[in-house]
């Protein structure tokens, strides 16, 4: 990934295998993300600048912006985010500290659609 104005851009495709979904998720080269799936206030717990943590955020952002045929709903995208955090080595406490605010934010955001 490379830093571009306001976010990050994938230089190469990124493939993540989700056991939860039972399939691979391929995020294409050129995909732009601002890593917004990790609320700013919680980035001190698990910094998104860390290459491993960033991978989970990229997968989640991709599922949020391109859910068709990949996830059933926002909740499932959020669950894949938590799964991916564990895969990249984020512990249970830190994973929960990121997952629950993201889940709450997405649920509230959905109420106002």
Q: What is the pLDDT along the chain (113 residues), one digit of tens a residue?
A: 777 787 889 999 999 999 999 999 999 999 998 776 555 666 666 566 667 778 898 999 999 899 999 999 888 999 999 999 999 998 888 888 888 888 887 777 766 55
Query: What residues have CB less than 8 Å from 110, skipping those under 6 apart?
Result: 74
pTM: 0.83
What is the chain's length? 113
What sign results for the dihedral spanned by CA atoms 93, 108, 71, 76? positive
Q: Report the greatest alpha carbon distance in the chain.
A: 35
**Alpha-helical regions (H) of the chain:** 51-65, 74-87, 92-111
- Total domain count, the chain: 1
**Which residues span the domain enclosing 38?**
2-111
């Amino acid at each position: 990934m490379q830093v571009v104005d306001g976010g990050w851009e994938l230089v190469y495709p990124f493939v993540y295998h989700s056991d939860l979904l039972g399939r691979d998720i391929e995020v294409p080269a050129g995909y732009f993300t601002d890593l917004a799936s990790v609320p700013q206030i919680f980035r001190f717990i698990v910094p998104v600048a860390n290459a491993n943590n960033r991978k989970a955020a990229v997968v989640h952002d991709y599922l949020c912006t391109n859910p068709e045929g990949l996830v059933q709903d926002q909740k499932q995208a959020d669950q894949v985010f938590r799964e991916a955090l564990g895969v990249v080595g984020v512990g249970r406490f830190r994973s929960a500290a990121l997952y629950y605010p993201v889940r709450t934010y997405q649920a509230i955001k959905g109420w106002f659609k």
